[in-house]
Structure formats: structure tokens, C-alpha cells
């Protein structure tokens, strides 16, 4: 399984995170960590998409 880290929680980041959710169902890839500027938004994003870590 390929593990990804994502920089940004905006529209582009959400698009990629949704795609990674689908790939996770197939056992191909997973979102491991998210980096964003706003702590609360970044934590929420990480929880919503199943990332194990989040950073600012």
C-alpha cells in the first residue's frame, strides 16, 4: 500500500483526499498525514479522511 501525506486542506486537498479514500477501499493507497495552516481545520480534515496524523 502506498502511503501519502497531503499539504493543504482546501478544495484541491479535499479532491485528492476523496480520491485516496476510494483507493484505500481497493487496498492501493492511504492518507497518512495532513499539513495545514489552521490547527482546528487541519485536525477536522484529518479525522474526516482517516489520516493518522496532522500538522501545522
Q: Which domain holds residue 35?
A: 12-55
Alpha-carbon span 18 to 14, nearest angstrom = 6
Over the stretch 10-19, which tens digit does the pLDDT of each residue have? Answer: 999 999 999 9
Alpha-carbon span 46 to 48, nearest angstrom = 6
Q: What percent of the chain has pLDDT over 70?
A: 100
- The verdict on residue 34 lying in a domain is yes
- The verdict on residue 39 lying in a domain is yes
- The verdict on residue 3 lying in a domain is no
Q: How confident is the model at residue 52 (pLDDT cuts 50, 70, 90)?
A: very high
- Residue 20 CB coordination number (10 Å): 22
Q: pTM for the whole thing?
A: 0.89
What's the structural domain count of the chain? 1
Amino acid at each position: 500500500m502506498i502511503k501519502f501525506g497531503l499539504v493543504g486542506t482546501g478544495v484541491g486537498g479535499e479532491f485528492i483526499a476523496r480520491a485516496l479514500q476510494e483507493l484505500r477501499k481497493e487496498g492501493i493507497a492511504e492518507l497518512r498525514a495532513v499539513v495545514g495552516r489552521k490547527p482546528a481545520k487541519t485536525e477536522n480534515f484529518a479525522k474526516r479522511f482517516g489520516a493518522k496524523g496532522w500538522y501545522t
